[in-house]
A and B are shown apart, each in its own frame.
Chain A
Amino acid sequence: NAGVTQTPKFQVLKTGQSMTLQCAQDMNHEYMSWYRQDPGMGLRLIHYSVGAGITDQGEVPNGYNVSRSTTEDFPLRLLSAAPSQTSVYFCASRPGQANTGELFFGEGSRLTVL
């Protein structure tokens, strides 16, 4: 039972490079989201999706793009990486709209931008 799978676990980028963080879940969850975690800041929501074809911005969306072409996958794209995007990124999912259920988190992706 894989749950929420994130890849890669670690990545080093140079300023201006682009990359995609992958997130996949096998629980048929409608809701998926990306958070970043920085010291003293807690988890801050970047983007989220309530179902395939639907995405919306969270608290800190600038510099990031997302898409949701399938229920299972929710990739996070950095088009031109900046040092301020050095962080640990977590993907999380839960069942659909009316459900108050818990979030299930991936293991995190540590990104360093030089």
Chain B
Amino acid sequence: ILNVEQSPQSLHVQEGDSTNFTCSFPSSNFYALHWYRWETAKSPEALFVMTLNGDEKKKGRISATLNTKEGYSYLYIKGSQPEDSATYLCAFRDFGNEKLTFGTGTRLTIIP
């Protein structure tokens, strides 16, 4: 079983502040790293799929970086808004494997 860890487990951030959280994964046999946003009572939706070491991806105020050599990815949210409140999941896929292994997520709450 692959070990995909996310930290912190939960986070409360004041509206307007910026924040970031971490996903760590095995550094060998890397194929892809996914980030998903999961709002309460909805289903997860993809934010980013990252495949290359050093990748940086951005969607609006949310961005992510990838370091496959050391096995971590950061997700950044700039100028947090109440609508950013959600659980953020990362998922790892190793080479030759069809399966995605998910971390347990970081639950983000934005305080108005």
A-to-B contact residues, CB < 8 Å:
31, 33, 35, 40-45, 48, 50, 56, 58-59, 90, 97, 100-108
CB-contacts of B63-112 with A (<8 A): 89, 91, 93, 98-105
Asked if B43 contacts A90 (CB within 8 A), the reply is yes
Question: Interface code B41-67, partner A: CB below 8 Å = 1, 0 otherwise?
Answer: 011111001010000000000000000
Chain A residues with CB under 8 Å of B44's CB are: 43, 90, 103, 105
Asked if A42 contacts B99 (CB within 8 A), the reply is no
Count of residues in B whose CB is under 8 Å from the partner chain? 23
Complex CA gap A87/B42 in Å reads 15
Asked if A107 contacts B43 (CB within 8 A), the reply is yes
3 closest Cβ contacts across the A-B interface?
A: A102-B46, A42-B104, A105-B43
Complex CA gap A83/B77 in Å reads 39
Chain A residues with CB under 8 Å of B32's CB are: 100
Known A31-B98, A90-B43, A97-B98: A102·B103 in contact at CB below 8 Å: no
Asked if A43 contacts B89 (CB within 8 A), the reply is yes
Complex CA gap A58/B32 in Å reads 18
Chain A residues with CB under 8 Å of B31's CB are: 100
Asked if A100 contacts B102 (CB within 8 A), the reply is no
Complex CA gap A97/B93 in Å reads 12
Chain B residues with CB under 8 Å of A104's CB are: 46
Chain A residues with CB under 8 Å of B91's CB are: 43, 103
Complex CA gap A101/B31 in Å reads 11
**Looking across the interface, which residue of chain B has its beta carbon closest to that of A44?**
B102
Asked if B51 contacts A100 (CB within 8 A), the reply is yes
8 example contacts (A-B, Cβ-Cβ < 8 A) are as follows: A31-B98, A42-B103, A43-B44, A43-B89, A50-B98, A97-B98, A100-B31, A105-B45
Chain A residues with CB under 8 Å of B42's CB are: 107
